[in-house]
Structure 1
Amino acid sequence: MKDHDIVIQKEKLIAAFYRELVGYYNTKNGFSTHFDAMPLEVQQALLNMSFNLGFTRLKSQYINMNAHIKKEKWADAALQSNRIGIQTQRNLYVKNLFLKAQASAKKP
């Protein structure tokens, strides 16, 4: 596979994940805001998790985390974002993204 083909496939994959995230994380599904209006850090955390887990598992196995996201309780979502069998650094990266969103939300 040529580099150009890899880039195209990567872009298609990211676009597919994005469509799934936008389709689920919206007010129609009980979230207080839609995906694009969430803090950038939350968007990044969810994209990272969907890449790793697949969207179906993100949606169905992280019910508590998603309940906290619905209420914009980013610190609580951070506590529920841990994935089993994933490198500690990657789990910490996602957790810290949620915590950064929480810290930013507290600023005036």
Structure 2
Amino acid sequence: MSAETEASKYRATLWRKALERRGWKNLRKGFPMNFVIEYHVLYRGYLYSGRCKPLGLNSSDVMTAGSTLFLLRRTDMIQEGVWRRARDQGAETGRTARRFEL
């Protein structure tokens, strides 16, 4: 692994830990399926942020790279990710993606 890749991985870990100190949970440790959650996921140079109820997602999307369920379930494929239970369970769901350089 190159020094640049190691540095990027380290910065991603610091990013995740900073969010965990503010109450977010590590995505790799699981999340509730029947509540609306908010999430941030680093995947292939992008930060995906959104809100969803995982139980309502199409289970076949787990194998579709970049789909919401893929980002939440395929933690072996993402760089880092965090989630928290949404304060407003009736809030609008959806997601955004933006370039995120570490």
TM-score, length-scaled by structure 2: 0.35
The structure with the largest strand share of the pair is 2
| Larger RCO (alpha carbons 8 Å, 6+ apart) | 2
The structure with the largest helix share of the pair is 1
Q: State the structure with more CA Rg.
A: 1
